[in-house]
Amino acid sequence: MTLRDADFDVVRDRAVAKLQALVRIPTVSHRDPTLVDTDAFDAFVVELAAQFPLLHERLDLTRIHTHGLLFHWRGRADDRPVVLMAHLDVVPVEGEWRHPPFDGVIEDGVLWGRGTLDDKGCLAGICEAVERLLEQDLTPAQDIWLSFGCDEEVFGQAAPQAVAELVRRGVRPWFVLDEGGAIAYDAFPGVNPPIGVIGVTEKGVTSLELTVEGRGGHASTPAKMGPTARIARAIMRLEKSPFPGRRPHRPSS
């Protein structure tokens, strides 16, 4: 299918308007669940259904955790299932913004707002692609799963529970696509044009809590290698001992 320039403008404007509507809902994640505005997440789920009605009408939906969404688009075969992932939560707003972070302002062809890149842009792009294909009554060659998490920014439970649900159903993905890079400007020395970055590795996360004990004293006569110095030494040892990079190998069947 080819698009004329005028048709492309319509398709683009439609997709951008949908992303604007999603960006304007402040689905901010917090490590403390009591700080999460659940009304905003409720509103996002409702708005997503309003913006992508065919996706919600024709795909099977399973709710995951609090506001996670797992859609199943049945294909002609189920032996090579595809999983497309994104998340609807964003991190808290920090610093000064050129435009209010949840206004979804468009200036000089750029959409401003928290979550436009991480990761509502991916979510809206996936949903719009599926919506357009459903308008054409297309049935994919294989099963497709859309897995949208709600607490990715705080390493929450939605993604692990989505995995558990797929395992429960006997789904072993042939291909999984999660959020990756962006269109990066001035990201690489000597490269002037913007580059579409493809992420092919994953950085793990480890949280440690260090505790030291020591005798009391006075700051005028600090003890040698007191608690502060010892915890600083421990931090430097960790800094000098990063985990090595590795490439996992999938066992042959």
Q: Which of the residues are catalytic?
A: 89, 152
Please state the length of the chain. 253
Largest CA distance in the chain: 79
| Euclidean distance between CA atoms 248 and 251, whole angstroms | 9
In whole angstroms, what separates CA 189 from the centre of its chain?
27
Question: What residues contact residue 202 under an 8 Å CB cut-off, 6+ apart?
Answer: none
Q: Is 117 exposed, middle or buried (0-12, 13-18, 19+ CB in 10 A)?
A: middle
- What is the SS3 assignment for 45-76? HHHHHHHCHHHHHHCEEEEECCCEEEEEECCC
Q: Which long-range contacts (CB under 8 A, 24 or more apart) does 124-129 make?
A: 124/15, 124/18, 124/19, 124/22, 125/15, 126/84, 126/86, 127/18, 127/48, 127/51, 127/52, 127/55, 128/14, 128/15, 128/18, 128/52
| Euclidean distance between CA atoms 145 and 63, whole angstroms | 13
Tell me how crowded residue 144 is: count the other CB atoms within 10 A of its CB: 20
| Euclidean distance between CA atoms 163 and 180, whole angstroms | 19
